[in-house]
Amino acid sequence: MLYIASDHAGFQLKNYITNFLKNQTSSVFKDLGPKVFKEDDDYPDFAFALTKEVAKNKIHKGILICGSGHGMCIAANKTKGIRAIEGYNIQGTEMGRRHNDANVLCLAGRILSNEHAAAIARIFLETEFAKDHRFMRRNKKIADYEK
């Protein structure tokens, strides 16, 4: 399952990405909000709602969107089992999935164009973790630290 959420600064891009997902991918996803634009909402509320769901199952993934991507990424990485990355470009996002087994993508609603963000989301969803020994070893060190 893929989960998606934003704050007010990512609301428009979230709507674009959800339409993109409906029309361009076979991804099954759930929109965790907000359902309506509310200028005074707080990104941690949406980040924690999404990461709680993603952390329940190793195959779940999430996409979070705020103004810069930074706030959502910081908040998301507070949840045990979450490996959130900021998706500013395709190559970095691909490496985050392939090398780090990232399970949450954070996008910048005030910086990225709709089309660029959709391309980044697509690569995040299509790229598999490489399962190379060194990548697995590094991810285990992170998981062990969370205990």
DSSP 10-68: GHHHHHHHHHHHHHH----EEE-S-SS--TT--HHHHHHHHHHHHTT-TT-EEEEEESS
- Residues in the chain predicted with pLDDT less than 50, given as ranges, are none
Whole-number pLDDT of residue 147? 73
Q: Could you give the number of structural domains in the chain?
A: 1
The CATH number of the domain holding residue 40 is 3.40.1400.10
Residue 22: name the closest of 10, 30, 13 by CA. Answer: 30
Is the distance from CB of 106 to CB of 69 less than 8 angstroms?
yes
The encoded tokens of residue 85 equal 């990355």
Whole-number pLDDT of residue 82? 97
Residue 1: name the closest of 50, 66, 34, 74 by CA. Answer: 50
Question: How buried is 25 (Cβ within 10 angstroms: 0-12 exposed, 13-18 middle, 19+ buried)?
Answer: middle
Question: What are the catalytic residues?
Answer: 66, 99
Whole-number pLDDT of residue 95? 98
Domain that holds residue 111: 2-146
Sign of CA dihedral 46, 51, 53, 59: positive
